[in-house]
Amino acid sequence: MAKINDNGVLREANCSEELMAMRDSLDVLGGKWKLMILRFLTNRTHQVIHFKKMQREIDGISAKMLSKELKELEINLLISRAAQDTKPVTVVYAITEYGKSVLPVTETLVNWGITHREKIIESLK
C-alpha cells in the first residue's frame, strides 16, 4: 500500500512507519527473556506452569529476572497470573489470548535460529 512510485518519497514515509511499529514491538517484547517466556508458555498450554518449573526449564534464567519479566508481561496483558490456595502456595502462569498473537514472532525466530545454526555448522566444514 502507498507504494505509488519508486523514487523513494512515498516509500520513505511508509518505511518510517514500519520502523516505528517495530520499535513499539521491541519495547514490549525486547530484552533477553520475554520472547523466551512467551514461547515457553505457548508450548505448554496443556500443562499447569508454576514459577519454579519455569525457572528450571528456561535455561539460565534467575528468579530475579523471571519475576521481573513476568510482571512486565502481565502488565502488558500477554500472560495471566493466578495464585492458588494450596500448601505451599502455588502460582499458575499462562499465556493469554492476546499473548498468543505473539506466536508468529517467536515462530520466525525459532525457524531462523535453526537455519542459522545449520549455516554456522556448514561454514565450519
Partner DNA sequence: CATACTAGTTTCTCTTTGGTAACCGGTTAC
Partner DNA sequence: GTAACCGGTTACCAAAGAGAAACTAGTATG
Please tell me the distance from the alpha carbon of residue 104 to that of residue 106, in angstroms, as a whole number: 6
Question: x/- string (CB under 7 A) for DNA, residues 64-103?
Answer: xx-xx-xx---------x-----xxxxx------------
Cell of 6: 519508486
Among 11, 44, 53, 100, binds DNA (CB under 7 A): 53
Of 50, 58, 74, 106, the residue at the interface with DNA (CB under 7 A) is 50
Residue 51: which residues within 8 A CB-CB, separation 6 or more?
63, 66, 67, 70, 91, 93
Give which of a second copy, DNA, none residue 80 binds (C-beta under 5 to 8 Å, depending on kind).
Answer: none
Binder to DNA among 52, 116, 117, 119 (CB under 7 A)? 52
Q: DSSP labels for 38-68? A: HHHHHHTTTS-EEHHHHHHHSTT--HHHHHH
Residue 60 or 87 with smaller CB distance to a second copy: 60
